[in-house]
Amino acid sequence: MPERDVLAALKQISRAATIVRPARKVTVLEDVPDNRILECAVSAQADLVVTGDHHLLTLKEFEGIPIVRLADFPRMIPAD
């Protein structure tokens, strides 16, 4: 991906990002850090989770939140 596209994507992400402190613990996966990602996604009422993590990707979705590969993410964002 060209650097200008990466910078544009980061700019869009920073505008849409939400900082959360999840109150609920999730223990769906064996990998504790993966569970923290799910906690944050639920707490933030995320539209989707973008990841390259195999464990998260096997879920495909969690509590209605789609989990997608990083490679698929650029096709999901509307062009300016």
Would you give per-residue pLDDT tens digits along the chain (80 residues)?
Answer: 789 999 998 898 888 777 899 999 999 999 999 999 999 999 999 999 999 999 999 999 999 999 999 888 777 777 76
Phi/psi of residue 61, nearest 5 degrees: -160, 160
Distances in Å between the Cα of 73 and the Cα atoms of 7, 17, 68 are 14, 15, 7
- Contact status, residue 41 vs residue 17, Cβ threshold 8 Å: no
Domain of 68 in residue numbering reads as 3-76
Query: Cα–Cα distance between 45 and 64 in angstroms, integer?
Result: 10
Name which of 27, 20, 57, 58 is nearest 42 in CA terms: 20
Number of domains in the chain: 1
